Amino acid sequence: MIYETRRRAKIGVLVPFTNTNLEADMILMRCPDTTVHFQRMGGYDVDEIPGSDQMAGLGASDISHDLKMISGIRPDVVLYGCTSATLTHGPSFDEQLAQDIKAGSGALSITAAGALVGAIKVLGVTKIGFSSPYLGEINTQAVDFLAQNQITTVKCADIGRELGNYGQGELTPDEVFDLACRADHPEAEAIVLSCTDMRAVEAIDRIEAALGKPVVTSNQAMMFALMRALGLSWQGNVPGRLFEFL
């Protein structure tokens, strides 16, 4: 048997406690010789519909205990695995949170929202189609967040119904594919799928083949950002045209 060294990089991930797909996606895309470690975050009511106020509350919640726990692995990078928690606050809040996580963990910090923006800019596009399982208000805030980063949303599509904290994670890859297609527009240069608990990673290649455009998802963008920052090479298990830019 050939063993991995497990010494190339240690990746810490802060994940909302009802999220069921971020961990699976990170393991699916993990580079050989790296390890991925998770710390679940609270700060919201599982029984409430995850609207703007709830997600903003999560973003503003105290994560000092979570940082102390994830710091126990001596991570090389810590990911903040909720996109809407900082989309609801704006770019300055997102940047400050990344700085606070770095200070609290001693590691490079990447947020889901920041990774989305970074990936879109790496692709060199300025006009996108945007889709998510969020309620309308969060989508409006997400479009504004992107606009403040000089990214124009030419079409925005949502799931069309209220989803609870578990409902977002229960969407199938086929439903995500349909949602992405509804966000397409002749002027859109790329399709952006926002939410770390949506099974978008599994649909990326199919969407790109159908629409002929690059796709950026929250979890894929975080993996791309950490691979680029840590100098990790493409292994073929990460989907999308985005990884051509490693």
pLDDT of residue 235: 83
For the segment 182-202, what is each residue's pLDDT rounded down to a tens digit? 999 999 999 999 999 999 999
Examine the domain organization and report whether 208 and 239 are in the same domain.
no
Instruction: Indicate whether 181 and 121 sit together in one domain.
Output: yes
Is 3 a member of any domain?
A: no
Distance of alpha carbon 145 from alpha carbon 114, whole angstroms: 10
Q: Please check whether residues 206 and 226 belong to one and the same domain.
A: no
Query: Which whole number is the average pLDDT over 6-13?
Result: 96
CA angle 119–195–239, rounded 5-degree value: 50
Is residue 140 located within the same domain as residue 81? Answer: no
CA distance 216 to 208: 10
Give me the CATH number covering residue 91: 3.40.50.12500
Q: What is the pLDDT of residues 89-136, one digit of tens each?
A: 999 999 999 999 999 999 999 999 999 999 999 999 999 999 999 977
Tokens matching residue 168: 């977002």
Element (H, E) at 101: helix 91-105
Does some domain include residue 1?
no
pLDDT for res 61: 94
Same domain, 210 and 223: no
Q: How confident is the model at residue 225 (pLDDT cuts 50, 70, 90)?
A: very high
> Residues 45-58: what's their mean pLDDT?
86
Question: What pLDDT is recorded for position 4?
Answer: 93
| pLDDT at residue 57 in the model | 86
In a domain, 2, yes or no: no
For a pLDDT cut of 70, what percent of the chain falls above it? 100
User: What pLDDT is attached to residue 136?
Assistant: 79
Is the same domain home to 133 and 198? Answer: yes
Angle, helix 136-147 to helix 112-123, in steps of 10 degrees: 50
Distance CA 89, CA 219 (A): 20
| Res. 50 pLDDT band, cuts 50 70 90 | confident
Give the pLDDT confidence score for residue 160 in this predicted structure: 85
Q: Are residues 94 and 40 in the same domain?
A: yes
Within-domain flag for 102: yes
Based on the domain organization, do 13 and 110 belong to the same domain?
yes
Q: Is residue 4 part of a domain?
A: no
How does the average pLDDT of the chain come out, rounded?
A: 95
> DSSP secondary-structure letter at 48?
S
pLDDT of residue 7: 93
Between the alpha carbon of residue 49 and those of residues 95, 221, 246, the distances in Å are: 26, 26, 37
86 with 202, same domain: the answer is no
Token pair for 98 = 């990344």
Whether the Cβ atoms of residue 43 and residue 50 lie closer than 8 Å to each other: no
Residue 24 lies in a domain: yes
Q: Which domain, by its residues, includes 168? A: 116-217
**Residues 188, 149 within the same domain:** yes
pLDDT at residue 164 is higher than 90? no
Q: Which amino acid is at 211?
A: L
Is 152 among the domain residues? yes
Query: Total structural domains in the chain?
Result: 2
Segment 76-83 mean pLDDT = 98
Q: Model-level pTM?
A: 0.96
Considering the domain architecture, whether residues 108 and 159 belong to the same structural domain is answered as: no
> With the C-alpha atoms ordered 17, 215, 139, 87, is the resulting torsion angle positive or negative?
positive
- At residue 161, does pLDDT exceed 90? no
pLDDT-above-90 percentage for the chain = 86
pLDDT at 47 over 90: no
The top-scoring range by mean pLDDT among 150-164, 181-195, 229-243 is 181-195
> Does a structural domain hold residue 140?
yes
Domain identity same for 143 and 223: no
User: What is the average per-residue pLDDT within 57-85?
Assistant: 96
Q: How many helices (H) and strands (E) does the chain have?
A: 10, 8
| 49 three-state secondary structure | coil
